Structure 1
Amino acid sequence: MTDPDESERLARLEDRIKALKASKEPRHHSEEHYSQAQVGWRMVTELVAGLMIGFGIGYGLDVLFGTLPILLVLFTMLGLVAGIKTMMRSARELQRQESARQGDGNDNAADAGGEKRTKDGD
């Protein structure tokens, strides 16, 4: 039989091992803290990616149909709009994460319009 003192030591050792294993586990990317520079570069990248995709689609369709400037301009503008929309979605997501981390719990302020809504939908 094991001594009570020894079983107590083993329990403490197991707790320490669990704590060390938990600290070494990879965290989910949503739990990571991003610096402001990382957030800014992410948003710039999203905007530029939208522009480039729109430009590429527009140019390709213009070459295919032989209407060079029309579709290029149209799809570049659509790419700009898509990039801005993605940027705003990312900003809203980061704002919700920040308010949740601060323990605010008020996600209504981060709605698309920034308006607080009441229970009866006003």
Structure 2
Amino acid sequence: MITIYHNPRCSKSRECNVFLEASDKDVTVINYMQTLFTFDTLSEVIKKINIAPIQLVRTNEKIWKDTYKGTEMSDPEIIEAMVSHPKLIQRPIVVNGDKAVIARPLEKVQEIL
């Protein structure tokens, strides 16, 4: 089962969603702006991508610059910030079993299919 964590307002996310829907794979689409991540789910996704939490943060977003930039934050605090403000999460995220990628560029999806 493949899961795409998708923000329909993002063109790269929409492009990835179309790509996955055209594949022969069973795909679950989660609009993470409506179905919010829990701390545990987002932590698990980060482990599957094999990155530090800060690498999943969209640091150019206004909320990050205004609220968090320049502050010393632990990994759990960074995850909490993303859970509280899902706009901060890089997208799209594609999960396949115990592997996941931030699908930017789209070709990154091939690494886990």
TM-score by length of 1: 0.26
**Greater strand share, structure number:** 2
Say which one has the larger Rg: 1
